[in-house]
Each structure stands twice: as structure tokens, then as C-alpha cells.
A and B are shown apart, each in its own frame.
Chain A
């Protein structure tokens, strides 16, 4: 098992997702001799999991059954331990496409947070890309790095514990894309720009508040970014239902000729398959601001290099 490669069978040390039904899931770490309690009873890792195929039905001690699923970044997003607010799959999907991520992309991200987006990025850029992720909270950075190793994607990611607004991403001129999810993204735009390849790339900033978006857009325009565009994306879930609609009885439309004539009985109804919206849904997550860094033209670029040299000397 790895978050960037499927495997058929469950092995010791794997992360597996226990599907309990009705969108209820829990992540577990498979260990020889370990046990996991579920509402359907105990799962014994050695007997019930190790060597089994992902996707199989496992019968728990109380007789109930669950499915064991192969982890994917999407399942992980739904199951990960929250250390911060996290990004959900709807936003992640759009970020991935709009940043033009693909195998081989080099990506800078800040902050790492709980690693929800990081896992999705890693999945997409593997096996030849690299993620440089910056988190200013030491404990969170350490936890994330540990998680990446456990999920066998450690070789694709560098976690740095620093403040992106002050110290940047720790790399220069290597990134195809930069993602910012920090309280004041406008302070990191300069660093984002210098982290990116000189032939340009894409940048995205996620902010819950419109005031943040305004400042970010101003900073992006000021730094010469192009195609600045802000969007909001929501997922609408349609719950499939079978509903029964009673039919009204208006009585016979003409006098009945014979008393045996068939007419709709007053308790008649129609069964239909339809969908209903959930009673409540996520109405706002954040605004996504995207922009393109144009290629640096030679003249500007040389100036930049000379400036760098002077600074270094």
C-alpha cells in the first residue's frame, strides 16, 4: 500500500480504511497482533486483515461486517486526524486542475496543515514530481513528515518548518505551481514568485474571506502575475430517494354509468425515484484565486541574477 500506488493485498504496516456503512469510516494502521474495536465488534488484524484483498468484506466479532478499503487521498481527506481546518475534495479537485498538476510537477505548498491537500498533490505529481511544503507550526510539520513516511510518499516531499511569509519556501526557481493557504497570502506572493521556474507557472491562494482575496489579488497584480481569477466552488449532493406521492381524488368527472366502473380509489399514490438535497450543506469553504506567472524575459531576468549576486557578495 502506498498513497501513490495501488496494491492488491493488505500488508503489515499499511493504512486501511474501514468502511462501516452510511458514509461512516475509520482509518486504521494494520499491525500484526493488533485489534480494532468497531461498533460491529472486534477486527483482528492478523486474522482478518493481513493477506486479505483490499475491498473484501470482513466479519467482526459481533457478527456485523465491514469493508476494508485501499486508502486514496480522497478517503484520507474524509478520515484524517484534524490538526487544522482542512481542504476538501471539491476544492482540491479544482486546485489540482487549475494549477495544471501532473506527474513530474514540482509544487510548493504552505501551510501543510493536516496534509489533506498534500496527499492529493503527491498522488498527482508522483512518481517524478516533488512537493516542498512549508508549515510554521513545528509540531504540525513533524507530524506531517511522519505521516508522509508512514504513507510511503516521504521520498516525494520535503517538509520545512519555517514561516513562508518571512523565509519563503526554501527553494528558488524550481516550482511549476505554488499553493497558499495562509492567513495573509499577500505577504507570501513575492516568495511564491521566486520559488517558481523562470518559464513561469501557476499559483493558487485559498482564503475564506473576501478581504483577504482583495489584498491577494492586488499583490498578484503588483508582482506581474497574469490571468488573475477568483472562483468559488461548491459540491451539491443529491440524495436518491424513493418517494410515494398520494394522488388527489376529485371524484368522478362524469356521473358513473354503472356502479362497477373503475375509478381511482381515494388512497391511490405514485411511487417515484427522485433526489432530495441534504437539509444542510457546506455553503462556503473559501475563495480560490488563481494566477499565471509569465515567463521572465531575459532582461528582467539578468537584473534579477545580478541583484542576487550583489546580495550574496
Chain B
């Protein structure tokens, strides 16, 4: 058996690729290495007391004597080497799994707390929440933030934990709210049985608008104002218990001025955009976005093409699902890629290395093989000024980026295609589907159905895709309360349409009635060369 006072602490150092064990008393901070937890949870999940990852280190507290882990660590060391080279280690894995030790009582023991990654830092992108309302902001000191017709400063959020609720106090400063038990405003339950004696004469509330404003100026908190309202309502006691609850909820919503600071996620941002600015995201509803990510089989390690005009929400959602593994190529229309929404996700910097961009006006040239990414800028020679130099450098960077994206596309072996734009989906899909490898999913969103019908028809004629499906998603929210469960009275009327399918090869010995698209653009080629020059 083991001594609980001295459990083993495992740590992983990604620089020296070293795994080691020590005793509990001296946890050692080591370099970032997320794989350790994963490896251990596969081999001996029962032994993990707690696992922690911070930007700087990985600690795993385990139950068991140190000699057992010394052997295990030796094996893990080998395993880890194999692991980085994809999943060739499955044999070793299954052997290790078979060495599973008998189940032991699992205890959580974590007294010295390291929450550094869980705290809000200056410059972080966060989401403010009140009720069902969200707003994405960046934490900047001394900057006025307006949320729900109220302004405040986010300075005090710095250093606090994500998920903290703040009270907005005078002067627009935030004050963390202490976690406390929910107080029931009406403790003495006194309630009517029905509403036969309640008249809608507008006289039941004794407090006037001005009285309430005065209370607010006196610095009363939301909760206290609600209490005042209840005490000064002549009809509150006659209301049924359910109606009282509803009254309190309604007033609370109106007078409470608390705000929660959350870490951004695809779920929150999709709901936020849909609630606040649906026009910016082509009215793409969150559940439709969820379908897109799943139908597109978006996952780590793949190469996905994204064409969107949804402020970067779709691109960000794809990047979140890729987790910084693989590559995303944003195919963009016009002068430059629009991706303000991606910032709101607050991705770690290395995610940007997986993001590439390619302007769609070069697509035809690329397909025809006439896109020249090696060419030096034509007017490079005649700008000796520093401004010109700067421009030259920028142009050079742009060219490099274009070349990198072109390399990714050239193989025509992308693993996924996601389209969500205000453009006609038909030319977009038919143009970009050529970059997909066979047997890969694609998904096209449009706010309207008819363009997708056209897409469907064209694709059917052209071939190269199976499992074509035109769908839309229906979502209904429910109020679930004891004896009061029913669908929420308002629901979204529609969340847009999706066309999804899977690519297949078009080159076939069988006779095809339609010419394949690959051979077709001979005529276009000439035109494109003119454009690129």
C-alpha cells in the first residue's frame, strides 16, 4: 500500500522530453506538456488523484508507490517518443493497458492551488454575461465598457477567476460578488390561490418611478431594490406562489446590475452573435453552426477550407475544433480576409500558425497552374524611400503567405470544406470543391433555400459528390419548472439551410455523360492569365 502523505508526483518536461517522479512534498514546476495526463489517464486512470496543466507545467498527482511509477515512467518515456510520431504506438498502448492495476479508492487531494491559467489577464478576450445576454470584449485598463445600457470599467476583473460574478457599483467599478446562498426574498410564504382578486389598475405598486431612482442613487443593490418593490406592492401577497416567483424573477432581471466574466467559447459566441447581431453572421443560428461542424467532420489534424462572411465566427468555430492541429485555409473574397470574430475566441498564439488565407480571385489561376507566387513585385525596383521599403516588405510577406496557402491547396487534397456566406453558394461550392480529396465531407450554409436547390441540382449533374442532403434545423427551448413545464412561448422561426455531402472521384473508366470539371476551364485559363499579370 501507499502512504497518503507522500503520494508520487509525476512531471513531464517537454524540453528535455523527460518524465520523472518525485514525492508529494516538492511539486516541481516543469515545462508545458499536455500529453502526460492523457497518457496516464489511458494506462492507470484509477491512480490519478488530480492532474493540472498550466502554461508552464504539468503536474499529475497519483496514488501508488514510487517504484511502480519508476517502471511505468521508463515505458512512458519510450511511448512518448513514439506518440509524437502519430499513433504508431497502439501496440505499446494496449500492452500497457493490460497491465492495469486493481482499482483503488480515488481521492482528490489538492491543497496548494494553482489557478494562474484560470485568472483574467489584461488583454484577454472575455465574454460578459447577464441573464441570456452576452457581449465579447477585450480586457483593457481604464476603458469604459458599455453593456446593457450600463457602463463600467473592467480593471477590477484582472486577476480574478473566470466565472466570477461582479456587482457594478458607483463610479462604474466592478466588485466581485461573494458566493452566497440564494436568498429567498419572500421567506414568509404567504400566497393567494388564484388571480380572481387581482386588478390591473396600475395602482398596486406604491413606489413611484422617482422613488426607485432615489433608491438607486442611495446606492441600494439590485436585490435590495427588489425587496423594496415587494414590500411596497399591495398585491404581492395575493399572487399565487408561482406568480410571486415570476414577479421576483422579472424584477431581479430589471434591477440587478451584476455581470459575469466568462472565457469565450464557440457555444457562447455563436449564441451571442445570433442574439445581438444576426445580420453580421448571415442569420446563422447556433444549432445550424453545430450541424456544420459535425457534418464537416472538423477535427484536429485535418486540412479544412473555410469560405465565410460571418465576421469570422465560422472560421473561429472551425479553429476551435481543430485545437491548433492541422491547417485551416480561409478562402476570402475581396481585398482581405475578415475575421474580427476570430479574435473574440482568444486563441493562444500558436493557433495562428495553422491559419492560412487565399484570395478567391486567384482560385482559377491556381487550378490552371498559372498562379505565379515566385514572381517579384513588378514595381519593387523603383521605390527607394523607406515607405517604399516598408511596402516592399509587406508585399513580400503577402506573397509568402499566398505561396504557403497555394502549396496547401495545390495537392487538391483538403479534408473538409465549410461555406457560409452571403454570396451565391453555387459558384462558391463548385469552385472550391475541386480542392477536396475524394471521400471528404463538405457543408454549405445559406440563409435561403433556393440557391441551395440550384447547388444541389448542379452538383447532381456534374457528379463527384454523393449523400447530398438539403436540410434545416429546428430548435425549441423548454421551461422546466415543477408543474409548469412547457415549451418557451417564443421560438426562432428558422436558422438557415444546409447542403451537405461527400466527395467521390470523378475519374472513372465508366462513360460519363458530363465532361468532368477538371478539363473544362480551358477557355477561362486565358482570361485568368490576364488577371494575374
Stretch of A32-40, A235-243, A244-252 with 4 or more beta carbons under 8 angstroms from chain B: A235-243
Q: Any chain B CB within 8 A of the CB of A89?
A: yes
Picked from B46, B105, B505, the residue with its CB within 8 Å of the CB of A55 is B505
B50: shortest Cβ distance to chain A, in Å? 6
Q: Are A287 and B478 in contact (CB under 8 A)?
A: yes
Picked from A57, A128, A228, A305, the residue with its CB within 8 Å of the CB of B111 is A305
Q: Are A305 and B161 in contact (CB under 8 A)?
A: no
Q: Are A155 and B325 in contact (CB under 8 A)?
A: no
Q: Are B106 and A130 in contact (CB under 8 A)?
A: no
Q: Are A104 and B41 in contact (CB under 8 A)?
A: no
Complex: A261 Cα to B456 Cα, angstroms: 40
Picked from B94, B118, B474, B482, the residue with its CB within 8 Å of the CB of A236 is B474
Picked from A89, A171, A228, the residue with its CB within 8 Å of the CB of B106 is A171
A307: shortest Cβ distance to chain B, in Å? 10
Complex: A173 Cα to B45 Cα, angstroms: 12
Q: Are B300 and A127 in contact (CB under 8 A)?
A: yes
Across the two chains, which residue of chain B brings its CB closest to A130? Answer: B41
Q: Any chain A CB within 8 A of the CB of B389?
A: no
Q: Any chain B CB within 8 A of the CB of A102?
A: yes
Q: Are B437 and A55 in contact (CB under 8 A)?
A: yes
Which B486-531 residues have C-beta < 8 A from chain A?
497, 502-505, 508-510
B244: shortest Cβ distance to chain A, in Å? 18
Complex: A93 Cα to B472 Cα, angstroms: 13
Size band of the interface chain B makes with A: 35 or more
Q: Any chain B CB within 8 A of the CB of A19?
A: yes
Complex: A182 Cα to B32 Cα, angstroms: 37
Complex: A303 Cα to B299 Cα, angstroms: 40
Across the two chains, which residue of chain A brings its CB closest to B34? Answer: A128
B294-326 CB mask vs A (1 if < 8 Å, else 0) is 110101111000000000000000001111110
Complex: A57 Cα to B106 Cα, angstroms: 53
Which B459-476 residues have C-beta < 8 A from chain A?
466-467, 469-476
Beyond A173-B108, A295-B163, whether A103 also contacts B325 by CB under 8 A is yes
Q: Are B438 and A53 in contact (CB under 8 A)?
A: yes
Q: Are A236 and B472 in contact (CB under 8 A)?
A: yes
Q: Are B508 and A231 in contact (CB under 8 A)?
A: no
Across the two chains, which residue of chain B brings its CB closest to A106? Answer: B41
Stretch of A43-51, A62-70, A183-191 with 4 or more beta carbons under 8 angstroms from chain B: A62-70
Picked from B38, B46, B477, the residue with its CB within 8 Å of the CB of A230 is B477
Q: Any chain B CB within 8 A of the CB of A61?
A: no
Q: For residue A289, which residues in chain B have a CB less than 8 angstroms away from its CB?
A: 480
Q: For residue B352, which residues in chain A have a CB less than 8 angstroms away from its CB?
A: none
Q: Any chain B CB within 8 A of the CB of A213?
A: yes
Q: Are B266 and A97 in contact (CB under 8 A)?
A: yes
Stretch of B16-24, B186-194, B214-222, B283-291 with 4 or more beta carbons under 8 angstroms from chain A: B283-291
Picked from A68, A240, A309, the residue with its CB within 8 Å of the CB of B453 is A240
Q: Are A229 and B38 in contact (CB under 8 A)?
A: no
Q: Are B267 and A98 in contact (CB under 8 A)?
A: yes
Q: Any chain A CB within 8 A of the CB of B103?
A: yes
Q: For residue A275, which residues in chain B have a CB less than 8 angstroms away from its CB?
A: 449, 453, 470
Q: For residue A308, which residues in chain B have a CB less than 8 angstroms away from its CB?
A: 107-109
B115-148 CB mask vs A (1 if < 8 Å, else 0) is 1001000000000000000000000000000000
Complex: A74 Cα to B469 Cα, angstroms: 13
Stretch of B85-93, B205-213, B224-232, B425-433 with 4 or more beta carbons under 8 angstroms from chain A: B85-93
Q: Are B108 and A74 in contact (CB under 8 A)?
A: no
Q: For residue A96, which residues in chain B have a CB less than 8 angstroms away from its CB?
A: 290, 293-294
Q: Are A120 and B294 in contact (CB under 8 A)?
A: yes
Q: For residue A217, which residues in chain B have a CB less than 8 angstroms away from its CB?
A: 480
Q: Any chain A CB within 8 A of the CB of B367?
A: no
Picked from A19, A65, A273, the residue with its CB within 8 Å of the CB of B457 is A273
Size band of the interface chain A makes with B: 35 or more
B229: shortest Cβ distance to chain A, in Å? 25
Q: For residue A300, which residues in chain B have a CB less than 8 angstroms away from its CB?
A: 179
Complex: A59 Cα to B508 Cα, angstroms: 10
Beyond A4-B299, A69-B439, A102-B320, whether A97 also contacts B286 by CB under 8 A is yes
Q: Are A238 and B287 in contact (CB under 8 A)?
A: no
Across the two chains, which residue of chain A brings its CB closest to B457? Answer: A273
Picked from A57, A154, A199, the residue with its CB within 8 Å of the CB of B508 is A57
Q: Any chain A CB within 8 A of the CB of B341?
A: no
Across the two chains, which residue of chain A brings its CB closest to B303? Answer: A6
**A8, A54, A72, A213 — which one has the most chain B CB atoms within 10 A of its CB?**
A72
Q: Any chain A CB within 8 A of the CB of B270?
A: yes
Q: Are A234 and B108 in contact (CB under 8 A)?
A: no
Q: Any chain A CB within 8 A of the CB of B110?
A: yes
Across the two chains, which residue of chain B brings its CB closest to A217? Answer: B480
Beyond A55-B440, A120-B294, whether A126 also contacts B51 by CB under 8 A is no
Q: Are A128 and B35 in contact (CB under 8 A)?
A: yes
Beyond A213-B478, A233-B475, whether A305 also contacts B294 by CB under 8 A is no
Across the two chains, which residue of chain B brings its CB closest to A89? Answer: B294
Complex: A73 Cα to B323 Cα, angstroms: 18
Complex: A308 Cα to B63 Cα, angstroms: 15
Q: Are A213 and B106 in contact (CB under 8 A)?
A: no
Q: Any chain A CB within 8 A of the CB of B374?
A: no
Across the two chains, which residue of chain B brings its CB closest to A92? Answer: B294
A133-174 CB mask vs B (1 if < 8 Å, else 0) is 000000000000000010010111010000000000011111
Q: Are A305 and B110 in contact (CB under 8 A)?
A: yes
Beyond A55-B505, A171-B45, whether A100 also contacts B265 by CB under 8 A is yes
Q: Any chain A CB within 8 A of the CB of B397?
A: no
Q: Are A231 and B34 in contact (CB under 8 A)?
A: no
- Kindly list 5 other residue pairs between chains A and B, CB separation below 8 angstroms, not including A172-B106, A236-B474: A55-B505, A103-B299, A126-B300, A230-B480, A305-B110
Q: Can you give 13 A-B contacts (C-beta < 8 A)?
A: A67-B466, A73-B297, A74-B297, A127-B325, A128-B38, A130-B41, A170-B103, A172-B107, A213-B480, A228-B480, A234-B474, A287-B478, A312-B4
* Closest 5 A/B residue pairs (Cβ): A55-B438, A103-B323, A55-B439, A93-B294, A97-B290
